[in-house]
Structure 1
C-alpha cells in the first residue's frame, strides 16, 4: 500500500523527543501551537475536531443552548452516543478524578448543580475519513510526542479510548463495506478464497449485519442492543465474542486480513502471508496497542436456523437463584458441546436467560431443555417464571427481535465498571460452589455463554489471544452501575466492592484468565491474566511495530513501562 512521505519528519521528531520521559499534554509548553495544528489541518480531508462532553448543550442549566432536549432524549441510545466524539458509553470515563478528590465532569442531569467540565475528554483530534488522514495524525502525534487515544464508538469498558489532555484519532466515520464471495488475501495463492466482508474501522455491527443479510450471509459479531459496538476495533482486537461463537468461533477466529497504520506511518496489510507476526498480535493482543486499524476482512457463514430459548423469573431469596444457577452450570457443559450459546443475567431478585441453539430442530431443543424449564418452574414457582422456545430462520431475524432496538434507560445509570473471569469446565463441575458464589454478589452478574465447542477447537498458539479462551466454558462478569453526582469517596467504595468480588472470582479458579475487553482495572498481574504465556511474544511484536510506545492503553501490552496516568515512563 502507498505510504505518505511523513517518514523523514517522523525520524527527526522521535530523536528530538527522546530526552523526554513524558508525553506532551494540552496546556504544557510543548503543546503544538495553532499554527502547527493548521499545518496538520492542511494534510487532512476534514476539519480538526474539538470534542466536548455530550451533555454540554444542557449548560448553563437555566439557559440551555437549545440542544439539551436532544441530549435528554438520546442519552440512553448507544448509536447516538457513538456519533459524539466526546462521548463514552460508560460515562464515568468522560470524567476525571483529581488527586484532591475533586471530580471534573459534565453530567446529563444539569440540575445536580455541578459545572460542565472537559474531564478526560481530549481537547482536539482528527476525524479520519481515510487511511491518509490517520497517517497524517500519527505523524503529527509522533512529531510532537503527544498522548494518543484511538476512538470509534466509545464502548470500551476500561476507558481506553479517552485520556485527559490527549490527542484523539477518531475512526468512527470510516464506513465503507465491501462484499466479495471469492476474496483472496493479499499475498495468498489464488486458490485461497473466502466468502468475505471487508469492513472499514468505523462500521458498527448493525451496519455490518445489514450488509451480511443483504448478501445472504451471516457474520460472527457483537450482540448488544442497537448493534452500536464497532465491528473492526477494540471488540475484535481483544478477541470478540458472540452468542454464536460456540458454533463459529470468536471474532478473531473469523478474521482473514487487517489493514493498519503503524507508528512509522506505514499503512500495512497483515494476514497469514504478509506481516504474519502483526496478524498474530492483532488477533487478541488488544486494541490501541499496535497501530490504528483501518479495515478488517471477515469470513462469512451460511445462514442456518436458530432456536431461541428464553427463561425469566423473579425470586424472593438467594436460595432460589442458587439452585437454578447450580442446575444451569450442571447442564451447561453438555449444551456447550452442542454449540449452544447465549447470556445469563442475574441480580439478587431476577434471572434472565437468553440462549440459542443453532441449526437444531425444535423437537430436539425442546427435549434437551424441557427438564431445565421444569426445574425452574418448580423452584421459582410457575407464577414467578416464564419460559419459551421460538424458531428463527437465521441469526439476523433473531437479533432484530431481541436486540435490534436501543433500550431506554434513565440518563444517570451509565457510570459503570466491571470485573470478570473466564472459567473452564472444571469450575462448572463444582456447580454448587460456583452458584453459591454468584448468588452472594451484590452487583449484577452477566454470564456470556460464548466459549467451548468451536472456540475450544482452535490451536491456543495460533494467534495472540489469551490461551485461557481455548479451555474456557463461560465468561463471568460482575458489573456495578452508579448515579451521576457521587463523590470520589463513594465511587472508590464501589471500586473496593468490585475488588472484593474480583477476589472471589479469582478464588474459584486461582491463576485463571480473563477477557481483556470486559475486565478490571485492578488486576495485580494483567500480563498473565489477560495474555497468558503469549505476553512475551506480544511485547516483542509491539517493539517491532511501535518501538517508541506511541500506542499505550490501560493494562495493554507495554503499559507496565508507564506510570498510572500512562503519560510518563517509569
Structure 2
C-alpha cells in the first residue's frame, strides 16, 4: 500500500501516559472541537458517543471526563487504518481483510450517528484522501451515447462543503445536505441523501447518481451503473454505505446554481408547559401552502439553555431576486405569527446563487465531549397535505419531551422526490415517494456510559414511539439519521425492497466481509460485527433440504417473534417458566448456600433477569463474595441485561459480561489467569438441556463440565433446571398457550425478508398456507413444535423454488425433552456428573439440580 498503513490511537492518547505530551494535548484539545479537523483524523469520529466502548473505562476522553481517567483506552477506534489514496489501495486492504478474516470498518469523515464509522479491533479503510473532482458538461456512460446532462465525478473523500465550492466555481450546485464536513459520496449518498429543501426540486441525492466506481468484497474494481452491474447499482442507490462494497468514486448530476431569496420567520419563548402547538401548526401550514407553489423550506426548533425554545422557518424562493415580492407573499403569515407570538421575527435575504446560502465553514463545537444521537420519521403526503394535517403534526410534536440542547428539524420532501418514483429505480423504501416531510430529532448525550445508555433507552422507548405515532400507518425512517437501536430496521428503512437487497448482498458479498450496523444482512451478525457461524438463510436452506425438514431457532427470534414469545412464555398455562420462578423465589437461599464463596457465577445465556435476581439477592444476603457474569452471543441483549441489573443494591456480588457462545464462556473460565483457579458455578436455567436430544444433552453437559469444573472440582458446579412432566394434557396446554401461533408464523414473515423473490409476485413463504402443530411424542418423551401446510403440496418461492413441502409434511423447529427419574440418572451418569443437590416445590414438575464432576 505504498506505506499508507498506519497504527491508530485515539486522538486523546497524547493526554495520557505513556504518550503524554502537554503541548500536543493542548493542541488536540483546541482542534478537537472542529468538525473539519476531526473529519481528517483516522483516529477520531465526529463525537465521543461511538469512540468509547461499552464502559467508562473503555474511553480516551478529552472533555469533562478527563479527571476521572488515568489512561487512554482504544475503545471503538480501529487498530489500524489503510489511508488509501487510490482504488488499488482499497483493493489491497479488502483482499487482506478477506484473507485474514478481519473485521473491516469503512470511514470517510466519521459522521455516522449509529457508530458505523468505528469498530473495536478492526481494520479501517479511510477514504478521506480520495479527493479528485471532475466535471462533465454532458456525461455519458461507457458503451452508451445517451446524454445524461451536466455531472461531476467525485472521489469518496470529497466533503459537502468542498463540493459546493468546486461546483459553484463552475456555475453548478449538486443535491446535498447542510453540514459541510459530511462526505458527499459515502454513507450520505448511499443511504439516500436527503437535502433540507432541494429534494422538493431535484429529488433525493441518490436519485441523481449516474455511476459508482466500487471495490467489491472479492477485491475487484468495477463500475456500477444502469448498464454495467445494474443490480449492484440499484443496491448502492439507497441500500446503505459499507454494505455492498467500498465506493471509491461516484458521478452525480449537477444543476444550475440559481439565485434565491430566503425568507425567515422565527420566535423565541420560554419552554414551559404552555401549549405551543398553535405556532407549530402555523409553521407547518406555511410549509404546506408554499410547497404547493414549489417553494421548499425547513423548520428548525432548538432548546436553548434555561429551557428557552428558539424556532426558525426558512423558505427558499428559487429563481427569485426581488425580496419585495417575497415579503408580500409572506406578509399574511407574518401577521398571523405576530398575533400568536410576542417575540416573533421576520427577515428576507437575496443571494445571487443558491450555493452561497450553504455553509462552507466547518462546525466548531463548544465542548470537547460533544456527542449526539439522532432519529427520524417521515410524514406522508396523505396526512401532511390534509386540511387538518399541519395541526395534527404540530399537536403530536408539542407532546414530545424536549430538553436543553435538543434539536428538532424538518427536511422537505414531496415534489420531485414523489415524481421520481416513476422515473428512477433505486432501492430506497417505496414510501419515500409518498412522503411530504422528514422529521429529524437530535439529542445531546451526557459524556458517560450511563449517559449514553440512558439516551439510547429514551430514544428507543420514549421518543421514537411518539414520533412514529404521528403517522402510525406509515412507519418510514431515514437510515442515515436513524435510531441506533431500531428493532424493525428492515421494514422501516427498506420495506419490500429488503428481500431483493438481501439477494444482491449475497451475490456480491458471499462471505459477509462488509458489515454495517442495522444494514442489509446484519441480522447474521451481532451489533459489533461478530458473525454467526452459519448465516440464517443458509441454515434455512439446509434444514428444508433434509428428508425430515427443519427450521433453525434463530429464524424465530426476530423483533416480532420475541414479542410473541414473551407473551407466550408469560401466559398462565405456560407452567415451565412459572414453576421455575416459584422455586427460585422459595428456595434461592438454600441454592445460594451451596455455592462456594469467591465463585465466578456464569449465566450461560438461558435465564431471564427475573429468574437470576432471586439467586443473586440470596448470595448478597449471605454476604458471599462472588462475581456474576451474564453471557450472550447477541450483544444488544447482553447490554440490555446489564443495564437492567440493579447493581446499586449489591456490595458483595460484583457484575461482569461475556460476549460469545457457550464454548467461548467455558474456554474463558478454563484459560483466564485469575479466574481459572477460582470455584465456578454455571447456570443453565430455562430448561435449556431439554432442547437437546438426549445424546447431545449428555455431550453438552460433559463438555461444559470438563472445560469449566475440572480446575476446582470440589467447589465448582452446574446449576440447571429440568422438567419431568409427561402428562400430555398439561404439556400441550402449555405449548399451545396464547402467543405461540403468531410466534411460529412470525418466523415465515422474517424468512421472507431474508430471501429475495425477484421477478416473482409471491414471497418464499405464503404465511396463510401454514398451520402451527403441537404434538406429544410418547415414544421419545418430548414435545414437538412444527409448521405444517394446510392440506396441500407447496412449492416455495424463489430462491427456494426447488423445494416442495408435501401435504401434511412436518417442518420441525423445536423439541422439549422431559426427564423422569431414570432418564435424569442416566443423563448425569453418562455426562460424568454427580447430583449433589435438588430443589423443587410440591405440585411442580420442574426442579433444579446441582451437579459436580464425579471423582476419578
TM-score using structure 1 length: 0.86
Which whole-Å CA distance do the structure 2 matches of 1:256 and 1:231 have between them? Answer: 14
Question: Which deviates more from structure 2 when the two are superposed, residues 409-418 or residues 508-517?
Answer: 409-418
Question: Partner residue of 1:386?
Answer: 345
Answer yes or no: is 1:483 the counterpart of 2:438. Answer: no
- Of 56, 61, 72 in structure 1, the residue corresponding to residue 13 of structure 2 is 56
Conservation of the 8 A alpha-carbon contact between 1:343 and 1:446 = no
Gaps of 5+ in 1: 1-43
Shift of residue 518 of structure 1?
0.4
Question: Which deviates more from structure 2 when the two are superposed, residues 368-377 or residues 322-331?
Answer: 368-377
SS in structure 1 of the partner of residue 283 of structure 2: helix
Which whole-Å CA distance do the structure 2 matches of 1:83 and 1:187 have between them? Answer: 37
Answer yes or no: is 1:457 the counterpart of 2:412. Answer: no
After superposition, where does 1:364-383 map in structure 2 within 5 Å? 364-381=325-342
Answer yes or no: is 1:305 the counterpart of 2:237. Answer: no
Shift of residue 213 of structure 1?
1.3
Question: Partner residue of 1:288?
Answer: 242
Question: Partner residue of 1:241?
Answer: 194
- The 3 A distance-change label for structure 1 pair 284 and 523 is same
Question: Partner residue of 1:229?
Answer: 182
1:160-201 alpha-carbon deviations (Å, 9 max, x no partner): 11111111111000011111212211232x242421111010
Question: Partner residue of 2:149?
Answer: 194
Conservation of the 8 A alpha-carbon contact between 2:287 and 2:297 = no
SS in structure 2 of the partner of residue 331 of structure 1: helix
Shift of residue 92 of structure 1?
0.8
- The 3 A distance-change label for structure 1 pair 139 and 350 is same
1:9-67 alpha-carbon deviations (Å, 9 max, x no partner): xxxxxxxxxxxxxxxxxxxxxxxxxxxxxxxxxxx133312222122222259963422
Answer yes or no: is 1:253 the counterpart of 2:207. Answer: yes
Identify which of structures 1 and 2 has the higher relative contact order when contacts are C-alpha pairs closer than 8 Å and 6+ apart: 1
Answer yes or no: is 1:435 the counterpart of 2:394. Answer: yes
Answer yes or no: is 1:106 the counterpart of 2:87. Answer: no
Which whole-Å CA distance do the structure 2 matches of 1:396 and 1:489 have between them? Answer: 41
Which whole-Å CA distance do the structure 2 matches of 1:56 and 1:281 have between them? Answer: 39
Which whole-Å CA distance do the structure 1 matches of 2:225 and 2:103 have between them? Answer: 28
Conservation of the 8 A alpha-carbon contact between 1:106 and 1:119 = yes
Shift of residue 285 of structure 1?
0.7
After superposition, where does 1:59-208 map in structure 2 within 5 Å? 59-60=16-17, 64-97=21-54, 101-109=55-63, 111-114=66-69, 115-188=71-144, 190-208=145-163
Answer yes or no: is 1:498 the counterpart of 2:447. Answer: no
1:196-226 alpha-carbon deviations (Å, 9 max, x no partner): 11101011112211211111112111211xx
Answer yes or no: is 1:356 the counterpart of 2:316. Answer: yes
Shift of residue 130 of structure 1?
0.4
Shift of residue 523 of structure 1?
1.6
Question: Which deviates more from structure 2 when the two are superposed, residues 203-212 or residues 324-333?
Answer: 324-333
Conservation of the 8 A alpha-carbon contact between 1:447 and 1:476 = yes
Gaps of 5+ in 2: 304-308, 534-856
Answer yes or no: is 1:418 the counterpart of 2:418. Answer: no
Shift of residue 415 of structure 1?
1.5
Shift of residue 307 of structure 1?
1.2
Question: Partner residue of 1:26?
Answer: none
Shift of residue 537 of structure 1?
0.9
Shift of residue 411 of structure 1?
2.0
Answer yes or no: is 1:509 the counterpart of 2:471. Answer: yes
- The 3 A distance-change label for structure 1 pair 150 and 63 is closer
SS in structure 2 of the partner of residue 246 of structure 1: helix
Question: Considering only aligned residues, what root-mean-square deviation do their CA atoms show, in Å?
Answer: 2.0
Question: Partner residue of 1:553?
Answer: 516
1:266-324 alpha-carbon deviations (Å, 9 max, x no partner): 11101111111111111111000000001011111112111112233211245463211
Shift of residue 364 of structure 1?
4.3
After superposition, where does 1:203-222 map in structure 2 within 5 Å? 203-222=158-177
- Of 292, 299, 309 in structure 2, the residue corresponding to residue 337 of structure 1 is 292
- The 3 A distance-change label for structure 1 pair 63 and 87 is closer
TM-score using structure 2 length: 0.58
Which whole-Å CA distance do the structure 2 matches of 1:96 and 1:478 have between them? Answer: 24
1:324-366 alpha-carbon deviations (Å, 9 max, x no partner): 1111222322322333334322145221223322224534433
Shift of residue 568 of structure 1?
2.3
1:348-400 alpha-carbon deviations (Å, 9 max, x no partner): 5221223322224534433332222222222221xx2321111112212111x
Which whole-Å CA distance do the structure 2 matches of 1:193 and 1:457 have between them? Answer: 18
- The 3 A distance-change label for structure 1 pair 63 and 297 is closer
SS in structure 1 of the partner of residue 7 of structure 2: coil
Shift of residue 73 of structure 1?
2.0
- The 3 A distance-change label for structure 1 pair 240 and 528 is same
Shift of residue 132 of structure 1?
0.4
Which whole-Å CA distance do the structure 2 matches of 1:407 and 1:193 have between them? Answer: 35
Answer yes or no: is 1:262 the counterpart of 2:219. Answer: no
SS in structure 2 of the partner of residue 142 of structure 1: helix
Question: Partner residue of 1:326?
Answer: 281
Question: Partner residue of 1:22?
Answer: none
Which whole-Å CA distance do the structure 2 matches of 1:59 and 1:311 have between them? Answer: 48
- The 3 A distance-change label for structure 1 pair 434 and 413 is farther
Question: Partner residue of 2:410?
Answer: 448
Shift of residue 559 of structure 1?
0.3
Conservation of the 8 A alpha-carbon contact between 1:337 and 1:452 = no
Question: Which deviates more from structure 2 when the two are superposed, residues 294-303 or residues 368-377?
Answer: 368-377
Conservation of the 8 A alpha-carbon contact between 1:427 and 1:508 = no
Which whole-Å CA distance do the structure 2 matches of 1:253 and 1:265 have between them? Answer: 27
Question: Partner residue of 1:276?
Answer: 230
1:410-437 alpha-carbon deviations (Å, 9 max, x no partner): 2245221112101112333433232122
Conservation of the 8 A alpha-carbon contact between 2:478 and 2:493 = yes
